[in-house]
Every structure is written in structure tokens, then in C-alpha cells.
Amino acid sequence: MVFSKLWLNYKKLDDTRKRILISCEHSLKESAAFEELQTAMKAMLPEAIVLWKSEVFDDDSYLIVLGIHPELDREEYTIAASLNITEICGGSEAGLLYGVFEFLKRTALAGGFIGFNAQAKPSQPLRMLDHWDNADGSIERGYSGKSFFFKDGELLVNERTVMYARLMASVGINGVVINNVNVRGSAKRLLTKDYADSLEELGELFGRYGIKLFICPDFAAPISVGGLDSADPLDERVINWWKECCASLFSRIPNLGGFLVKADSEGQPGPFAYGRDHADGANMLARAVAPFGGLVIWRCFVYNCAQDWRDLKTDRARSGYDNFMPLDGRFDDNVILQVKNGPMDFQVREPVHPLFGAMKHTKLMAEFQLAQEYTGQQKHVCWLVPMIKDILGFHTKHDMQDDRVSRTVCGVAAVANTGDDFCWTGSELAAANLYGYGRLLFNEDTDLDELAEEWAQLTFGDDEQVISAVSEILKGSHKAYEDYTVPLGLGWMCKPNHHYGPDPWGYEFDRWGTYNRADRNGIGVDRSPAGTGYSAQYAPEWAEVYGDIDRCPDDLLLFFHRVPYTHKLRGGKTVIQHIYDAHFEGYEQAEHFAALWASLKGRVDERTFKNVSERFEEQLNCAKEWRDIINTFFHRLSGIDDKQGRKIYN
Ligand code: BDP
């Protein structure tokens, strides 16, 4: 089994010490923290021997003291490091492990032992990764090979899963959902004894690394695996079925965190079929898992995917709020609603979802998508971490002490971008999304310039030219992608179904929704009170800004308003000129990034160089297609020429 160690590829330090002494209570010798330290030290100081609690402390030794200090928060750690001794403490084994990873990271970046003090605890209590893996081994919206959790219906626990748990713990992930929210095939049997042994084993492994295991159950399981004729959440037989099911599941898998549920959405079963609502459905499951401390994470991605595109008043963007806001206050304490970052579906730019801060009596989580479904499918570079940071820092303007999205939620989840290919994420550069996501949730004030450089250095080594080129590419990548695809908040001009490459009208006259409404007179969707009324779902201050064509930020203008092509943006440019310019500039940026990468030949290993070079080739082809198709589309519709006289195909 070959796979990359990504940022945990511990390299040799510039240090000649002969002994590494790890001192800790006997019980910690079995911990993941101890084991990681041992593994890392052996790789970083291959000539030294690693000993436990040895007495021989002299000039040729480095001493690391590990301890649990219950006065710290469970996931908190402190580090006091010097040139000869380091003490790492955690509030629990999980906190200690985070401390060990932080110590190793700083040591790796410095190339040797250094003196520093650190204390940290996570900004977000729940830091999750949602895998959309199917039991047959395929991955919904997966761009990195097959699943490493499932193969031909079997759940795997092996070397790769261990490496996965180490990687996730190293960036602070503490919850993992292993299967697709669309529960298909044998995944429906995850609740049965078929999977009990392997789930137990995986749960144990995750537990060692401070990660809770979650699964997506089939809401209709009382029928599909239970043999009942109903899954009605208020039916006593159904309630009892779930109670018994959960009792046996949780007793076998003590590290089970609970369920993630997609119900009544895109064909998934749910409470609607029985005339019940989402609160009825979620609470019924919540009561079945409550005795075991379990959580029910219930998704708000609910909309009518068979809406009528001929009715201009229907608006998919409204649906999350329309469906869930009336239920505020009805959910049990162990239910968390998982809300996508925007009201549509992981487009390159969307406004922040209006439910954040609005539901004052319900626990919420934010959901992002690291799998680059709409942002280049891991063939294009698109570093999403700055966008995630912006969204978490967004002031909702709801009446509360701290109105930022990050403070209105009790956790954050992201759809994973991993698979079983060598580098885990299709493109080697896409691992920066995985790394940065975890680090940002652990410390929401993380400096993004430093983050990009740190990831590049840990992954590619100390060569300054590599670090600077890679971080420049990462930092500019989201804007470039937005520019050469769909600027101004429009979204959805991709090809239907697989969502890759341009198709301006692909979704326009489709039951899944109408999204840009472009014609010869103008472009954009009127979501102001005079239109679909979506803008009124925000707190008053934002409702006014978004609802007002003159105050709406440019980058969301076409999301909220329908305007003529000659409408002037804040900067004075017309909408049509901005569309042309952005497409040309975005493409040029992509060319610049590709050239930067090409300049690294010989400075990164051949396999990595090839992996990324091939993807840049594809990115440039596809970006050119986007540029030319979208520009031509708008040129034809508007009949307005590019002021700069560049070639637009006709
Ligand atoms: C969309 C994907 C679809 C997912 C759905 C979801 O296209 O495959 O099942 O989201 O989040 O982005 O449930």
C-alpha cells in the first residue's frame, strides 16, 4: 500500500543528539501522542535512540515530558519548549496529541529544536469532515480515486486508515462521517450487525486519535433493513425500532458520535412522506441516540428539485430558510442543523446562508465543501481556505453579542476531498485545502499567508523558491477561478450533472432550477423584495444592503439583482465590461500560476511535479474554454463589444 504522508513526512533535523528521552506516566505509553512522538523522532533523528523515562539525561539527550493536566480544557494543550527539554501537557489525551503535533510542526519548520511557549484550545468545538463514500467504493463528487473506507461493500481498517487518522488529528479534526449522505446499496446495512465488527474497530482507531465516528443512516431503515412497513417518526413501532437499533449500535461502538442525516432532499427519504416535519424526524432519532450521548446532525439542504422554471417567483435560494426557520426552537438539545455555507450549493461565490444567526433557539453547524465539485474538481487549483475564513468571520448583524457566523455555530463540517490515490487529494495542491481547513477551525485567527507557506514547507521542503511560488499560487487561485468562470455572484454556468466546464444555459431551463435568467436585455436574478424576496431573509441591516441595487456588493450583484448589461458597478465599469475583463484576467492569472509551477522543475520531486503540471495543462484548457464560451455567450446576447477590442469568438 503506497500513499503520501503529506505534511507528516517528517524530515531529518539538523541535530546530532544521540538520545531522545520521552518521560510520561506508564499509561500514556500506549497513547497516540506517545506513538506519534516516537515515530516522528525516529524519522527526524535517525541516528538517535528513543527511550522512555530514561535516567541518562546528558548533553547528548533531548528530553520530552508529556502529561495530562485536568485543569486544562479537554482539547487544550500547553507547550514549554527549550533547546534541551520540552514539556507538553494536555487536558486529555486528545489535547496532549494536539500539543505533540504542534511541537512537531514547529520543530519541523525550524529544522531543529527551538525554544518557545504555546497554549491553545480549538476555536470550534466540533471540527468535522464528511465523506461522501459509498459502500461499493465509489465516492460521490470524489476527484481523488476510490474510497479508502469502503471496498466492494466492506469497511476497511488498515495502514491507510491509520495514516488518515494521524493526518486528521494533526490538524485538529475531531469528527468524521465515513459514508455518503445519500445512503445507497449496502451502506443501508451500516446499522446492522453486518458492519458491527469493522465499525467497532474503526471507532477504536479513531478514538485513539480524538476523532468521533459518525455514520449516515438510511432514514427509511425501519423499512429497508427492519422489515417494517413504515418509517413514520411518530409511529411507536418505528420509534422502538430505532431505540433498539441504537442501543445495540452504541454498545458495540462506544466511540460512535451519532448520525448525519439528509432527509427529504434530492430523493432521500424523510418525514414528509408521513405528513411529519423535520423536527419530528430529527427528534425521533435524537431520542434514540440521547441515552448514549449521541448527536443527530440534520442537514438543511432541503429544496424542491422539481421546481417549475417557468415560474419566476420560485427561488431555490429561499428554501433552506423557508423550510427550517419556522421550526426554530422545536429541536431537541442533541440535534444540530447542518447548514451549507450559502443558500444554493457550494458555488464559487454565494452570500452567507441566511439561517446563521437567525435561528436563535436551535444549534447550527456550517457545512463547506473541500471536494471541489463546482470549483475545478481538483484539476484546477482553488484554495478555499480564505473563503472559509471570510464566511466564518462574516457579521450576520443579528442581535447578539458576537454576531459572526463562527459564533452562531457549535461546529463546522466540510465535505472531504480525499480518496485512495497516492496523494489523497487528486492534485497535490488540493491537500492545502484539507490542511488549511483543519488548522483554521482550530485557530480561527490563523494568518493565511503563514498558513500557505507553512503547508508548502511541510509538504515540499525548505526551498524558498518553492514555498513562495506555491503560496502565491494558492492565495490567488480562488479569485482567478471565480474570474474565468462566473464572476459577480451568478454561479451555475457549469455543465449539468457532473458540474465541470462551462455551459451557460445548461441549468437554465431545467427542473433543478433557473439560475441566471440571461437574455438580450440583462442578466441576474432579482432576489430583492420586488423579486423573489430572498434578500429579506437576512437581518435588517443586510436585508437593506442586499435588497438595494446601489448598495449590494459588486461580487454578489447578479445573485441579488437583475440588471442591464450596461449597469455600472461601483468601480465605474459596466457589468458586461467586467465580465469580459474578469474572464481575460482570470485566464491570464491561471497562465501565470502554471508558469510559476513550471519554474519549479527540479526543485520538487518528479512525481509531484508531474502530478501538478498535468493538472495545470487541464486547468488552462478548461479555463480558456470558460473564458471563450462565457464571453461569446454574453457578447452575442448583449451585442456589446469589448472596449479593449480583444478577440471574442463569434
Ligand atoms: C450537491 C451534490 C450532490 C450532493 C448534494 C448534497 O451535487 O451530489 O448529494 O449536494 O449536498 O452539491 O447532498
The answer regarding whether domain 460-525+562-650 maps to CATH 3.90.1330.10 reads yes
CA count, 13 A, side-chain hemisphere, 480: 24
Instruction: Say what the pLDDT of residue 273 is.
Output: 96
- As annotated, the active-site residues are 266, 345, 373
Rounded to an integer, the average pLDDT of 509-515 is 76
Calculate how far, in angstroms, residue 101's C-alpha sits from the geometric centre of ligand 1.
33
Specify the pLDDT at position 311.
74
Query: Is residue 140 in contact with ligand 1, taking CB distance under 6 Å?
Result: yes
Give the pLDDT confidence of 408-432 residue by residue, as tens digits.
999 999 999 999 999 999 999 999 9
In the predicted model, is pLDDT for residue 308 greater than 80?
no
> Is 301 touching ligand 1 by the criterion CB < 6 Å?
yes
| pLDDT given at position 304 | 81
Give the distance (Å) from ligand 1 centre to CA of residue 413. 14
The Å distance, Cα 415 to ligand 1 centre, comes to 10
Let me know the angle formed at the C-alpha of 18 by 17 and 21, rounded to the nearest 5 degrees: 95
Element (H, E) at 586: helix 575-598
Predicted pLDDT at 650 = 62
Is the CB of residue 182 below 6 angstroms from any atom belonging to ligand 1?
yes
Residue having the nearest C-alpha atom to atom 12 of ligand 1: 345
pLDDT of 55 higher than 80: no
**Euclidean distance between CA atoms 639 and 650, whole angstroms:** 11
Quick one: which atom of ligand 1 is closest to the CA of 345? 12
Q: Is the pLDDT of residue 108 over 80?
A: yes
464 pLDDT band, cuts 50/70/90, is: very high
What is the structure's pLDDT at 442?
A: 98
Give, for ligand 1, the residue of 140, 353, 369, 500 to mutate: max count of ligand atoms closer than 8 Å to Cβ.
140
Question: With 90 as the cut, is the pLDDT of residue 449 above it?
Answer: yes
What spacing in Å lies between the alpha carbon of 140 and ligand 1's midpoint? 8
pLDDT of residue 385: 98
Percent of all residues in the chain with a pLDDT value above 70, rounded to a whole number: 99
Statement: residue 309 has pLDDT above 80: no
| Distance from residue 107's CA to the centre of ligand 1 (Å) | 40
Closest ligand 1 atom to Cα of 369: 12
Distance, CA 129 to ligand 1 centroid (Å)? 15
Query: Ligand 1 centre and the CA of 326: distance in Å?
Result: 24
pLDDT of residue 53: 78
SS3 487: coil
CATH number, span 126-446: 3.20.20.80
Kindly state if the Cβ of 141 falls inside 6 Å of ligand 1: yes
Q: Whose CA is nearest to atom 2 of ligand 1?
A: 141
How far apart CA 154 and CA 427 sit, in angstroms, is 27
Confidence check: pLDDT of 307 > 80: no
In whole numbers, what is the pLDDT of the chain averaged over residues?
96
**Ligand 1 atom nearest residue 265's Cα:** 13
CA of 59 to the centre of ligand 1 (A): 58
The pLDDT of 623-648, averaged and rounded, is 96
Average pLDDT score over residue span 89-116: 98
Burial code (b: 16+ CB inside 10 Å, e: under 16) for 551-577 equals ebeeebbbbbbbbebebebeeebbbbb
Residue 312 has pLDDT above 80, yes or no: no
Residue 1 has pLDDT above 80, yes or no: no
Structure confidence at residue 369 (pLDDT):
98
Average pLDDT (115-131) is: 98
Q: Pick the atom of ligand 1 nearest to 374's CA.
A: 12
Of all atoms in ligand 1, which is nearest to the CA of residue 346?
A: 12
Q: What is the position in ligand 1's atom list of the atom closest to the CA of 367?
A: 11
Best of 143, 264, 373, 377 to mutate for ligand 1, by most ligand atoms within 8 A of CB? 373
Span from the CA of 377 to the centroid of ligand 1 (angstroms):
14
Q: Got the DSSP string for 293-333?
A: T-EEEEE-----TT--TT-TT--GGGHHHHHHGGGTT-S-T
109-123, 156-170, 513-527: least confident range: 513-527
Ligand 1 lined by 262 (C-beta under 6 Å):
yes
Q: Please determine, for the modelled complex, whether the ipTM score is greater than 0.90.
A: yes
pLDDT of residue 314: 81
Tell me which residue has its CA closest to atom 11 in ligand 1.
Answer: 301
Contacts of 582 (CB under 8 A, 6+ apart): 482, 483, 484, 487
pLDDT at residue 511 in the model:
78
Q: Which of 133, 182, 302 is the best mutation target for the ligand 1 pocket, counting ligand atoms within 8 Å of the beta carbon and taking the most?
A: 182
Candidate of 131, 132, 367 to mutate for ligand 1, largest count of ligand atoms within 8 Å of Cβ = 132
Distance (Å, whole) CA 212 – CA 214: 7
Is the pLDDT at 246 greater than 70? The verdict is yes
Test site for ligand 1: of 138, 301, 507, most ligand atoms within 8 A of the Cβ? 301
How far does residue 503's CA lie from ligand 1's centre (Å)?
A: 19
Residue 374 Cβ < 6 Å to ligand 1: no
Atom of ligand 1 nearest to the CA of 180: 9
Q: Is the CB of 345 under 6 A from ligand 1?
A: yes
Ligand 1: distance of its center to the CA of 262 in Å?
Answer: 10
Q: Is the CB of 415 under 6 A from ligand 1?
A: no
Q: Report in angstroms the alpha-carbon separations of 416 from 127, 133, 367.
A: 12, 10, 11
**11-120 is classed CATH 3.30.379.10:** yes
Euclidean distance between CA atoms 231 and 269, whole angstroms: 9
Would you list the domain boundaries of the chain? 11-120, 126-446, 460-525+562-650
346 in contact with ligand 1, CB cutoff 6 A: yes
Q: What's the average model confidence in pLDDT over 249-272?
A: 96
Evaluate: CB of 264 within 6 angstroms of ligand 1. no
The pLDDT tens digits of the residues spanning 131-178 come to: 999 999 999 999 999 999 999 999 999 999 999 999 999 999 999 999
Radius of gyration, CA atoms only, the chain = 26
Strands 77-81 and 85-90, by their bridges, are antiparallel
Band of the pLDDT at 313, cuts 50, 70, 90?
confident
